[in-house]
Amino acid sequence: MTIENKDLIVLGAGPGGYTAAIRASQLGRKVTLIEKEALGGVCLNWGCIPSKALLRTAQLYTDFKHAKDFGISVENLKFDFSAIIQRSREVAAKLNGGVKYLMGKNKVETIFGTGKILPGKILEIKNSEGTKQYSFKDIIIATGGSPRTIPGVEIDGEVFHTSRTILENKRLPQKMLVVGAGAIGIEFAYFFNALGVQVTVAEMLDQILPPEDTEISKALEKVLVKNGMIIKTGVKIENLKKAGKTVTASIMSNGQEEKWSGDCCLIAIGVLANTNNIGLEEVGIKTDRGFIKVDGYLQTNVPNHFAIGDIIGPPQLAHKASHEGILASEVACGVAEHPMDYSNIPGCTYCQPQVASVGLTERAVKEKGIEYNVGKMPFSAVGKAIAIGETDGMVKVITDKSTGEVLGVHILHSEATEMISEAAIIRSHEGIATSVIETIHPHPTLGEALMEAMAIAEGRPINF
């Protein structure tokens, strides 16, 4: 078989892969991007983007139901579920075209097919045209992840769903079980609950959104339950079965069984790395618990082989993968100045109210034995929040007691994900609470809540 020579190959065109390809091209490399399905990967086509389109619909529908609170009369309010799903697919398709444009603009060669890495810095590609082999100087592996499922449960796209199949579900269920209360589970639970579905969320751990600050998670749970959601934490799901269009399950808590039945079950228990059948064993690339092992510069144990994104482990976030893609390209091009910093990656959950955080939780600070201060500013005391009718939630700030350094920021609010970037910038500069307090924030804005929380942490509140 003839082997065609390439320079730098990126295997996988998700947010990590296509970002890596763009950055490497900017730095003068001739880049070939390999993708088995669709540019943009899971995030753009089956995850972040289409799901946020659905969540926006849920938020609008909820807002219309409360329009009378703002002096607006809305009669005969209804929705078309199939049209809601169709819009989310159209949003994904539009952005898919945007990525295609970026590849052309940055002179990135794109090849569609399934890739397998071979010894000797060779990548074998299989597609409808046959099998070809390409040599490379460097490769960035960015094959992403897939939804984790429960053994013995067949995902049929009708009764049993993952986060991927639910995005194409044309039938609005009546009674739904969501297994797993991470960001994906809670977002879809919120969406369907907002449209009138009776939703039960079952989580094995003792709080929803387990990585988040406990106080914030509990506050969110209270709002979701008030809005009609049933949430069960510290439980296990057993006997998950399907009979026709009915699904049944046993919700187990401390040895006690609660039987559940409905017409839809979403499995949202995490993401598996797509590392099978891509040649890792043949090349000798080391893995740990299913994830590729890399150093701080995203290099595997095999020279010239880099890995980024979901395949190297949590947090499995699109923005984390994109940043890794940039760094891996810079390392491959010899211009990287620092390793990855995993201590300052924002986490976001886009239900309503939203949750956003960066840095340490209060329990993590306690475990580290750091003396700390806490400042909490409820949005019920923020002028802008009251004016727009979005008073649920708070800003919680954790600072070092001796230095004032900002250790963590946690926000629960309808616009939390838009507010968290200021906190991330503060932490990236090892900023202190006083620097935020002394920065003039415009009034009235939601951002004032962050400033006031910092002031509370430092014992100098003005508006609370």
**Residues belonging to the active site:** 443
Closest among 398, 423, 406, 420 to 348, alpha carbons compared? 420
Both tokens of residue 318? Answer: 């699109």
288 touches 159 (CB < 8 A)? no
Both tokens of residue 335? Answer: 């211009």
Closest among 316, 62, 421 to 54, alpha carbons compared? 62
Closest among 314, 298, 291 to 24, alpha carbons compared? 298
The C-alpha atoms of residue 261 and residue 419 are separated, in whole angstroms, by 39
For residue 298, the tally of other CB atoms under 10 A from its CB is 29
The C-alpha atoms of residue 178 and residue 184 are separated, in whole angstroms, by 10
Both tokens of residue 439? Answer: 């920065």
Closest among 393, 409, 419, 52 to 223, alpha carbons compared? 393
List strand residue ranges (DSSP E) for 171-329, in order: 175-179, 198-203, 230-233, 236-243, 246-253, 256-262, 264-267, 271-273, 287-288, 291-292, 305-307
Q: Is the peptide bond before 15 cis (omega within 30 degrees of 0)?
A: no
Residue 398 host element (H or E): strand 394-400
The C-alpha atoms of residue 147 and residue 268 are separated, in whole angstroms, by 7
- SS3 string, 17-43, reads HHHHHHHHHHCCCCEEEEECCCCCHHH
Q: Which residue, chain included where needed, has tokens 């006031």?
A: 452
251 touches 167 (CB < 8 A)? no
Amino acid present at 84: I
